[in-house]
Structure 1
C-alpha cells in the first residue's frame, strides 16, 4: 500500500468518476471535495484524503439521509470517530498500476464481440454475445494524464470466461494509445483479486458511510 496519498490523484479520480456519469465536476469543500450527484439514494458525496477534523465535523453536522461521506481510511478508523447514525458501506479499495498491466495473451471467444463507444473523455467497451446480450462492460476515463477504470462488470451468466481480463486489456490499449500508463480505480472486495492478478497494487483503503432512511 502507498505511504503517501496524493490529493491530485484523488482529485483526478473523482473528476473522472463524475465525467463517467455526466455529473457536475467536483468542487472544493474545506480540505475535501464535494460532488452534487442528485441520485435518489446518493444525493451528494464528500471525499476526503484523510480522516481529519473537517471530515469528523461534517459527520456531526449532517443528518440528511443518502449523503455519502468517503475517506481514504480503514472502516475501523472511521467507526471510532463518527456517530452511530452512520452506516459503513462495503469496503472499497483504491488501487493503482503506474505501469503497463501484466495481462496474459488472451483472445475473445467467437461467441462474443466488442462494441466501443465514447463521450467526452470516457470510453465504453461492451462485450456482447453474437445475439447482442450484454456479457461484460467497462469504462475508461482519461483525466490529467491518469487513466481511470470505472464500473467494470460481468454478468453472472458469463463469469469465469476471462471476459473482465480481456475487457481490461482493451481499455488499457486505449490509454496507451494516448500515451497514458498511469492507471487508477476503486475495487470492490469481489473485484480486487482480478486487478491484483493484472499487476495492480492497493493504493489505500476507501471507506464510505451514509445515513439510510
Structure 2
C-alpha cells in the first residue's frame, strides 16, 4: 500500500527549498502549494502531496512552458492523466533519515578545509582545496523539527575522496546542534544510491512535469 506523504512534510520541504534559494515562501494553492520562483526557465512551481482533482484540473489550465507541477506519486500513475503537451522529467525521490547517518569517514584529508555560512535558516558548508578551489558544497535548512538537505554536490575532479559523505556529516552536526533529528531531502536517481549508502530510506516517489 502506498504511503501518503503528510501535507506538513511537503510544506516544510518546499519552504526550505525557497529559503535556500532566497525566494518567496510557498503559498497555499487549493490542496497543494505554489512558489512564485521567477526564474526565466522556471516561472512557478506547484507541489501536491498526492495526485488528486486539484492537480488534474491545474494540468488542464496551464498552457505555457516553464511552469512545473510536482506530485508525490509514480510516473505511471501520472501518465494516465497527462495530455501530450506535458513531459515527465527525470525521476525524483523523497528520502528520509530519522536516525544518525552511517558515515565511517570522520576526518578530512589535509588537502582540504571547511568553510561555513548561514542565512534564512540555511546553513552552508563548503569543502575547499588549499588553493581555494571549491571541491564540495551543500546546505541544510532547518524548518521546525525537520532538517532539509539541499543542493549537495562535489566537483568532478574532487570525487572519489569521500567529500560528499564528510559534508553530509558536517551538515548533520549542525542539525543536531540545533536539536533537529529528522532529516529529509529530494534526490536524483544518482543521488538516491549515495544517500541509501548513508542509511537514508525512500519516503516517496516525487514526479515532475512541465509543458514541452
* TM-score for the superposition, normalised by structure 2: 0.97
TM-superposed deviation, 1:2: 7.2
C-alpha distance in structure 1 between counterparts of 2:160 and 2:28, whole Å: 41
Find the counterpart in structure 2 of residue 178 from structure 1.
Answer: 178
TM-superposed deviation, 1:9: 0.8
CA contact (8 A) 2:126 2:138 kept: yes
Find the counterpart in structure 1 of residue 72 from structure 2.
Answer: 72
* Structure 1 runs, 4 residues or longer, greater than 4 Å off: none
TM-superposed deviation, 1:151: 0.2
TM-superposed deviation, 1:84: 1.0
Find the counterpart in structure 1 of residue 111 from structure 2.
Answer: 111
Q: Deviations over 1:65-118 (max 9, x none)?
A: 100000001111111111110111110000001122122143110111111000
C-alpha distance in structure 1 between counterparts of 2:119 and 2:52, whole Å: 36
C-alpha distance in structure 2 between counterparts of 1:80 and 1:106, whole Å: 47
CA contact (8 A) 2:142 2:175 kept: yes
CA contact (8 A) 2:22 2:120 kept: no
C-alpha distance in structure 2 between counterparts of 1:190 and 1:158, whole Å: 17
> Following superposition of structure 1 onto structure 2, how do residues 19-34 of structure 1 map, counting pairs within 5 Å?
19-34=19-34
CA contact (8 A) 1:2 1:203 kept: no
Structure 2 gaps, min length 5? none
C-alpha distance in structure 1 between counterparts of 2:97 and 2:113, whole Å: 27
> Following superposition of structure 1 onto structure 2, how do residues 130-141 of structure 1 map, counting pairs within 5 Å?
130-141=130-141
> Following superposition of structure 1 onto structure 2, how do residues 1-213 of structure 1 map, counting pairs within 5 Å?
3-212=3-212
TM-superposed deviation, 1:145: 1.1
Q: 1:2 to 1:125 in 2, by over 3 A?
A: farther
Q: 1:197 to 1:2 in 2, by over 3 A?
A: farther
TM-superposed deviation, 1:4: 3.1
TM-superposed deviation, 1:120: 1.8
Query: Which stretch of structure 1 is more off in the superposition, 102-111 or 80-89?
Result: 102-111
1:39 alignment partner, SS class: coil
Structure 1 gaps, min length 5? none
2:43 alignment partner, SS class: strand
1:168 alignment partner, SS class: helix
C-alpha distance in structure 1 between counterparts of 2:154 and 2:2, whole Å: 29
CA contact (8 A) 2:4 2:49 kept: no
CA contact (8 A) 1:127 1:163 kept: yes
* TM-score for the superposition, normalised by structure 1: 0.97
